[in-house]
């Protein structure tokens, strides 16, 4: 296995763990602030949108480099 392949696999695993941790933080924030169902949905949408943009950027850059 080449170094580039190992780096790619490690990056994928680390990004997945990072995304899960971010969602846990958002959930914990909603729980501690007693946000309710609507407030929790707004928190996940607003704060999760930043994470989604980061992930989409990674996918787009990967597609452009592969093309």
Region 34-60 average pLDDT = 89
Q: Spell out the domain ranges in the chain.
A: 3-66
CB-CB neighbours of 30 under 10 Å: 19
pLDDT in tens, 4-32: 889 888 988 998 898 899 889 999 999 99
DSSP letter at 31 equals H
The per-residue pLDDT for 67 is 61
Q: What's the burial of 40, exposed, middle or buried (CB within 10 Å: 0-12/13-18/19+)? A: middle
pTM of the predicted model as reported, rounded to 2 decimal places: 0.70
């Amino acid at each position: 296995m080449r170094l580039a392949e190992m780096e790619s696999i490690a990056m994928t695993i680390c990004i997945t763990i990072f995304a899960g941790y971010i969602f846990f933080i958002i959930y914990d924030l909603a729980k501690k602030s007693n946000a309710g169902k609507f407030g929790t949905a707004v928190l996940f949408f607003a704060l999760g949108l930043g994470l989604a943009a980061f992930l989409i950027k990674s996918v787009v850059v990967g597609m452009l480099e592969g093309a």
